[in-house]
Structure formats: C-alpha cells, structure tokens
Amino acid sequence: MKYISTRGNIAPIGFKEAVMMGLATDGGLILPESIPQIAPETLAAWAKLPYRELAFNIISLFATDIPAADLKALIDRSYGTFEHQETTPLVQKDGVYILELFHGPTLAFKDVALQLLGNLFEYLLKERGEKMNILGATSGDTGSAAIAGVRGKENINIFILHPHLKTSPIQALQMTSVLDANVHNIAVEGTFDDCQNIVKTLFNDLEFKKEYALGAVNSINWARVLAQVVYYFYAWGRLPEQGKVVFSVPTGNFGDIFAGYLAKRMGLPVEKLLLATNENNILSRFVQSGDYSLGQVVQTVSPSMDIQLASNLERYLYYLFNESAERVRSAFAELQQTGKIVFSAEEVQRVQSEFLSCTVNEAMTLETIASFNKETGYVLDPHTAVGVRGALECVKGHPAVVCLATAHPAKFGEAVERAIGTPAPLPPQLAALQGKETRCEIMAADKELVKAFVKAKA
Ligand SMILES: *Cc1c(COP(=O)(O)O)cnc(C)c1O
C-alpha cells in the first residue's frame, strides 16, 4: 500500500514513511492511494473477532511494509493497556448503543490512536537508528494521551506545554504525575493560545527543528486515523444484527468521524454518519447548507470540541472533490484569502448523502446528561452527550444507532455535577492520582525559555 498527499505534490511513500512524515511535506494530509474493499463474507467473518485480531486484520491492509509478527506485537502492546477486556465495549441504553472508547490509560478515546502511535514511533525509530523529540501544546486531553502513549519509550522525549492552572486539576495531574525520565511537562504562565504559538514558532525554526528532530503527535498523523477505523467495524460486529447502522460522532477536528467515513468506503454498511458539534458548529453548517466559513472559537462544556478549523476535513474534501489535488489546493487558497470555501450544489448534495448533522448547545448538553441519567442511570460525559442528543433528535426510531462515547464522565466532573447534582464517581486510576508526586516546569510564555529547556533535556 502506497500513500499520497491531498495536495498532490509528494511521490508515493510506504506506510512507515507516512507515519514518520506526519503532515505531508507539501502541506497536505496523507491518504492511501486506494481504499481496500472488504467483501460482505469477510465482514461477516470478522463480526465476532476479539478487538486485537480485528485490529490486526484491518491495520495490516494498510501497513503492508511491517512484518505481520511485528505488527501483531505492536497491536497487542497498544491495547494491552486498556482496562476493559473488550477494549471498546458496546453497551445498550435507552434505545441507543454507546460505544465506550474511554477505557485506555487516560480515559479518553484519544488513547486508542496514541497508544498505537507511541509504539509505532518507538519501533520505527529503533529500525532507523534515530531519536525524536515530540513537542506539543494541549488544553487537556491530547497532551495526557500523548504522554501516556510514549512514556518510558526508547529514543523518544516528549515535551508538552499546557497553560498553567488553566486545565482541569485532574487533567494537569494526569500529565504531571507521569515521572518517566523521557516525559517533560511545561506549565506556561499564559493561555492555551500562548502555548500553541510557542510550539508553532519552534516548529517554524527549521534549524532547531532539524537539529533536535522535532516530531508532532497531532491528529493529522495517518496512523491515528487508521487506529480509529477499527472500532467502527468492532461496534458493527457487536450489534445483535449486522444490518445498516448510523454512527453519531461528537466532532472537533473531524479525525474520528473521518475514520468512520473510511470504514464506510471500505464496505462497512454505514447508513449515515451523524456529525454532532457544540456551539463551534462550522462543520454542522457545512453539512446542513454547504456554509464553510470560519468563526471565532467559543468555550463550551465540551472543550475538546472547541475548534473552528478542523484539520482532518481536508482528507474528506479530497474525496468530495473526486480525488482532485488541484481542487483541494484551490479550496485552501480560497479559505486563506476569504475565510471560507464555497461548494457547488452537487457537492453539498453528496455531503448530505453521507452525513447528518446537528448543533447541540451547552444547555441542551447538560439537559441531555440529566435526562439520560434519569432514564437509564448511565452518566454521559459532555462530549458524548452532544452525540447522544443528536442521535435522539435526528435519527429517532432507527434500530441501530451507535453513539461514540469519547471520554469518561469523571474527566469532566464539573459539567457532570452541574447537570445531575453530583460528580461522576472517580474510577480507580483517577482516584489514585490525588496526592501523587508530580514533576512540572513552570515557565513564562517565552519561546526562548522553552527552546533552552528542550536543548537541555533532549
Ligand atoms: C478530541 C476529542 C473529541 C473530538 O474528536 P475529533 O477527532 O477531533 O473530531 C471529542 N471528544 C473528546 C473527549 C475528545 O478528546
């Protein structure tokens, strides 16, 4: 399997190189040259496979340059860290199915991708005899999942910047209580934007980037998308009947739902993908009317979806534009010049043939956590609640609606408490964090300080 760029200006590369490249060198996103097709008999045969076997069957179609035994070992190690023996169990509540993606080390769905990416990086760096310094900024979830993905790994250091005292206390502890020598937390005296700006500036410092082999773990890495394709197949196989299914996906960067789109293109019987957003609803406007115009980011109770520019959308646009890299390039030039992309009526119609969408505001989110809890006893986290509300409103009565549960409710205890009066009970991993020893460097929002710190520790 070879990989290409949505912008059309890289020579085809293998899977291993695609993982190491991250963002394509022409500024585009990496995609497989063709999408493998899974025949209905094969799908049926895969339906009841254990998670790791299914993951191997799917990932090996794309990672053709990694020997089977090595890939198996990488997958086993990645999902051996999940608390639940099913990895991503499917439960039924109140007429909808909930796919629990939060049983990994940091209790958010990003673990599914980042556990695999961490192991892949270690494997590939060893093979190449190289080292990597991962640098990233986080407002919460991604940072802790990235740290959990690479802690203790050989030839990798990770530097994660978070805004000092501006993440939730649990999220900060999930990062700073990791004491492995290769993990470096930096609490920046400033905002998340300050953190992100510092990281961007250092990545643009090409000399520094090259000398210190800076790497990223953001959601544009192809391996992250690929890891997420697996659980769409898994959920379908766990339904009582293997018919057409609707997936409801709480969406920010479009990574998770794009994995669902790929699963559909591979042959999984997906009727629709329901794209659910909070007030940052550029993507639901896009689905509803083809309006893709950037707005201001507003803060909500589902902070991991507070995003305007969804980086993974470019992957979908490539297919929407019938695999024309030229049209992708002109669309993003248009976005840069005018702050929006204009779509043809035919394109909007095609989007609507694949996706449903809805916007769920803060009041609706809290109300859904409360009513769902009252009816089923189940506690939704605010991100998951956005998707569940969308499912209950837009696809009423459908026999197979699967809502992706992207975080454990205890990670967002404050919002849950506002909704139901009590916080969600802390699972043992989170309870154990209280009073743990921590290590973290507090620093002014100054790129030179961060640069000097990376140089000293790398
Ligand atoms: C990252 C995240 C999302 C959004 O996923 P995307 O792939 O960015 O669309 C939703 N919920 C939680 C809890 C997350 O951490």
Give the residue ranges of DSSP H helices in 93-219. Answer: 110-128, 141-150, 169-176, 192-204, 206-211
Q: Which atom of ligand 1 is nearest to the CA of 140?
A: 15
Residue 166 banded pLDDT, cuts 50, 70, 90: confident
For ligand 1, is residue 354 a contact (CB within 6 Å)?
no
* Cα separation, 277 vs 293, whole angstroms: 15
How far apart are the C-alpha atoms of 128 and 15, rounded to whole Å? 14
Please work out whether the CB of residue 141 comes within 6 Å of at least one atom of ligand 1.
Answer: yes
128 CA from centroid of ligand 1 (Å): 32
Q: How far apart are CA 339 and CA 295, in angstroms?
A: 9
412 lines ligand 1 (CB under 6 A): no
Q: Which has the closest alpha carbon to 281: 201, 386, 385, 183?
A: 386
Q: In sequence order, what E strands does 270-410 have?
A: 270-277, 292-293, 340-341, 355-359, 401-405
* CA–centroid distance, residue 104 to ligand 1 (Å): 14
Q: Is the CB of 110 under 6 A from ligand 1?
A: yes
Distance CA 135, CA 158 (A): 6
Gyration radius of the chain's alpha carbons:
21
Ligand 1 in reach of 253 Cβ (< 6 A): yes
Distance CA 245, CA 271 (A): 5
Ligand 1 binding pocket includes 315 (Cβ within 6 Å): no
pLDDT range class, residue 15, cuts 50, 70, 90: very high
3-state helix, strand, coil in the chain (%, to 5): 50, 15, 35
Shortest-distance atom of ligand 1 to CA 258: 7
Nearest CA to ligand 1 atom 14: 304
Residue 414 CA to ligand 1 centre (angstroms): 18
Q: 324 and 330 in contact (C-beta within 8 Å)?
A: no
* Sequence-separated (6 or more) residues with CB below 8 Å from residue 234: 51, 54, 87, 88, 90
Instruction: Determine the Cα–Cα distance for residues 299 and 285; give it in Å rounded to an integer.
Output: 18
pLDDT digits (tens, 9 = 90+) for 48-94: 999 999 999 999 999 999 999 999 999 999 999 999 999 999 999 98
Residue 165 is encoded by which pair of tokens? 């005292």
Q: What are phi and psi of 78, to 5 degrees?
A: -65, -40
Q: Is the CB of 118 under 6 A from ligand 1?
A: no
CATH of domain 90-105+222-420: 3.40.50.1100
Q: Check if 102 has its Cβ closer than 6 Å to any atom of ligand 1.
A: no
pLDDT in tens, 380-437: 999 999 999 999 999 988 989 999 999 999 999 999 999 999 988 899 989 999 899 9
- What pLDDT digit, counting tens, does each position of 194-243 carry? 998 899 899 889 899 999 999 988 778 999 999 999 999 999 999 999 99
Report how far ligand 1's centroid is from the alpha carbon of 63 (Å). Answer: 24
Mutate to test the pocket of ligand 1, among 225, 256, 258, 297 (most ligand atoms within 8 A of CB): 256
Could you list the active site residues? Answer: 110
How many angstroms does the Cα of residue 208 sit away from the middle of ligand 1?
31
Query: Residue 318 Cα, ligand 1 centroid: separation in angstroms?
Result: 22
Take residue 204 and report the two structure tokens written for it. Answer: 């643009």
Stated pTM of the model: 0.96
**Domain definitions of the chain by residue range:** 90-105+222-420
Ligand 1 atom nearest to 254, measured from its CA: 9
- One-letter amino acid at 423 equals P
How many angstroms separate the CA atoms of 281 and 283, rounded? 5
Question: Burial code of 121-130, b = ≥16 C-beta within 10 A, e = fewer?
Answer: bbbbbeeeee
Q: Which of 101, 109, 138 to mutate to test the pocket of ligand 1 (most atoms within 8 A of CB)?
A: 109
In tens, the pLDDT along 311-361 reads 899 999 999 999 999 999 999 999 999 999 999 999 999 999 999 999 999
